[in-house]
Structure 1
Amino acid sequence: MALDHDTMIDPPIENLLGKVDSKFTLVTLAARRARNINSYFNQLGEGLGHMIPPQVSSTAHKPLSMAFEEIAAEKIIWTEAPEPVEEVVVEEDPDAEAQAAADAAADVTG
C-alpha cells in the first residue's frame, strides 16, 4: 500500500503513473516533450515558430519539469501503442537455389 507523502517531484510520481501504463512510457513521453520544449526556447529568437510552446504556465524553468506538468494536466495524452506487425515469411523456391547454383557453375566454367 503506497502512502501519501511529500516527494521531490511535483506533480507526484503516483499521479503521473496514473496517466500512462508504465514507468518506461512516462519517461519516454516526458523526455520527448522536454526535447520539444527545449527546442522551442532555443529557436525563439530565430522566428521560426514551428515548435509547440509549453502548454502550462509553470514556475519551473526546466523543460522536463514542464513536460511532467503537461502530462499531469492532461495536455499531453498518451495513447495505446500500436499492435506489433506480424512478420511475413516468404518461402523460397527450392528450384531457385538449384538454378542459382547452376548459373554460378556455368559462370566459372565458361
Structure 2
Amino acid sequence: MNWVANALVALVAALHVYFLILEMFLWTRPLGLKTFRNSPQKAQESAVLAANQGLYNGFLAAGLIWGLVQAVPGFAFQIKVFFLLCVIVAGVYGAATVSRRILYVQAVPAGLALILLWMA
C-alpha cells in the first residue's frame, strides 16, 4: 500500500511541476492560452502574476519530492502530509475563486494521496 501512496504523491508532485511550466513559461503561448482559457491580451497582462503562481506550485512539488526522498520514515510522512494539505487548501481555494475544475485537477488527487498515505 505504501508504494501506491507514494506513487500518487509523485503524481501530485509531477502535476505541480507541470503547472509550474504552464504558468511560468507557457502562459502566453498557445498551450497556456488554451489550458487557462485566456485571450492573448489577458495572458500578457497577467503573465507576471501567473509566473509567481507557478513558482508557488514549484515549491509544492519540491516539498512533495522532499517527502518522497526523505530517509527517515516518520519525518517523510510528516512532510508529505503537510504539503498534500497545502495542495488541498490551494485546490479548494482555487475552486471557490477561479474554477471548479481546479478542485478535480489539484485537490482531489492530493486528497486521494493523503487518504492512501494515512492507510499505508
Which structure has more RCO (C-alpha within 8 Å, separation ≥ 6)?
2
Determine which structure has more spread, i.e. the larger CA radius of gyration: 1
Larger proportion of helix: 2
